[in-house]
Amino acid sequence: MAVGQDQLPALLPVPGVRLGTVSAGIKTAGRKDLVLIEVAPGTTAAAVFTRNAFCAAPVTVAREHLEYGDYSPRYLLVNTGNANAGTGEPGIAAARDCSSAVAEIAGVESRAVLPFSTGVIGEPLPVDLIRKAIPAAFDALAAGGWEQAAEGILTTDTRPKGLSVNFSVDGVEYVITGIAKGAGMIRPDMATMLAYLATDVAVEQPLLQQLLAELVETSFHRVTVDGDTSTNDACVLLATGAAGNAPLADRDSPLYRALRDAIEEVCLTLAQALVRDGEGASKFVAVEINGGRDQQECLDVAFTIAHSPLVKTALFASDPNWGRLLAAIGRAGLVDLDVDRVGVYLNEVLIAENGCRAESYTEEQGVAAMAPEDITIRIELQRGDGQATVWTTDFSYDYVRINAEYRT
């Protein structure tokens, strides 16, 4: 199950980027499970990784290679079907081994290759299968390889996720294309989520890193399916510089602002696409909190609602159970909360105020508000100017089925 339309938009090539997707036979024979991304020399990279203390081996190695390679990688190698997490020292060696295999063929240093893995935790990475498939991945490299790559990075996802945005500044055309995967173990601090974005705009690395960190904060860090933080998350932004502009170094230019807007659109679309394809999802729910003392307490309330199993099962049932919303708000830890000032809305329908059901509210309004696949839960705290929105899904039978059966 998934929410909303299932249509991957056309993904535009990004000058300086080629992608090759092949089948290494890691999980299911014939399934595309290995993606090689090549970027032009001089590309700068920014990246955000999982904050889970048990981070996977490829995360450790990719971080190292980025740093020692001066944030200018040449290749990214992504496998699905095996997360290479919970694999200890042998896992680190396996991630290095895969990087070396790419480096040998390309004639670059190992540190110019960033490894990524997603899939089952705790199984040894089948390095031999990956090594054997790498030459074919090189052969498959093509500028138009984004759609295939969007397919090739999926695990329990039911559909590929991607977006391209074209924009022009002073008559020059630029492009950004991004793809992402992830459906469960999704929450802020990154998720079982991989996202790769590339633009032809030249950007100096420190600014690129700031920009990515800032935009991840309001997109990928604002979505949650089940509150679990994965061991493998990574979001990488590549700036090839193929457009030939003077590399951006600060925020004071029309090109920077246009680029920022375009990346923001791609990040937000991809982040919301993860939620729409959340495991077992039948609803796409925006939880919008207004009027908190600060943004943090709005986030506290939003995530308490978004993670409440009682709220999520009520959403699955299309049940306007505002009592569970009040209960979730009440346990979010807000200091001196005056419950009589709190207003609760489903879409535009006021359902609770003054600590109880609104007088104007009818059950028919609530049922109508819960009927669509896309729902907004809006809470007005009326105690300040803070604001935050997060996006989440319901909890369905399918969520349990998918996660109970995943390893069997």
Q: Interface with a copy of itself includes 337 (CB under 8 A)?
A: yes
Q: Are the CB atoms for 215 and 263 separated by under 8 Å? A: yes
Site for a copy of itself in 300-329 (CB under 8 A): 307-310, 313-314, 316-317, 319, 321-324, 326-329
Q: Which position among 16, 20, 58, 91 is part of the footprint of a copy of itself (CB under 8 A)?
A: 91
Instruction: Spot the catalytic one: 192, 224, 240, 304.
Output: 192
HSE-CB of 364 using CA atoms within 13 angstroms: 1
Q: Which position among 184, 241, 278, 386 is part of the footprint of a copy of itself (CB under 8 A)?
A: 184
Of 215, 230, 314, 211, nearest to 267 by C-alpha is: 215
Q: Are the CB atoms for 100 and 110 separated by under 8 Å? A: yes
Site for a copy of itself in 352-371 (CB under 8 A): 352, 354-357
Q: Is 379 exposed, middle or buried (0-12, 13-18, 19+ CB in 10 A)?
A: buried
Q: Would you state the structure tokens that stand for residue 310, as one six-digit string?
A: 């009682």
Q: Are the CB atoms for 281 and 1 separated by under 8 Å? A: yes
**Stretches 3-11, 181-189, 259-267, 284-292: which one binds a copy of itself (CB under 8 A)?**
181-189
Which positions ≥6 away from 210 have C-beta within 8 Å? none
Is 192 annotated as catalytic? yes
Q: Interface with a copy of itself includes 226 (CB under 8 A)?
A: yes
The whole-angstrom separation of Cα 338 and Cα 250 is 44
The whole-angstrom separation of Cα 153 and Cα 179 is 9
Q: Measured from the CB of residue 365, what is the shortest distance to a copy of itself in angstroms?
A: 14
Site for a copy of itself in 60-89 (CB under 8 A): 83, 85-89
Site for a copy of itself in 4-43 (CB under 8 A): none
The residue assigned the tokens 């063929």 is 105
Q: Measured from the CB of residue 361, what is the shortest distance to a copy of itself in angstroms?
A: 10
Q: What mask, x for binding a copy of itself by CB under 8 A, covers residues 186 to 225?
A: ---x------------------------------------
Q: How many C-beta neighbours within 10 Å does residue 60 have?
A: 16
The whole-angstrom separation of Cα 24 and Cα 9 is 27
Site for a copy of itself in 385-404 (CB under 8 A): 395-397, 399-401, 403-404
Looking at the Cβ atoms of 239 and 285, the one nearer to a copy of itself is: 285
The whole-angstrom separation of Cα 347 and Cα 372 is 10
Tell me, by CB under 8 A, how many residues bind a copy of itself. Answer: 65
The residue assigned the tokens 């969007």 is 150
Q: Interface with a copy of itself includes 408 (CB under 8 A)?
A: yes
Q: Interface with a copy of itself includes 55 (CB under 8 A)?
A: yes
Residues at the site binding a copy of itself, with contacts judged by CB under 8 A = 51-55, 83, 85-91, 120-122, 184-185, 189, 226-231, 307-310, 313-314, 316-317, 319, 321-324, 326-331, 334, 337, 339-340, 352, 354-357, 395-397, 399-401, 403-408
The catalytic site residues sit at 192
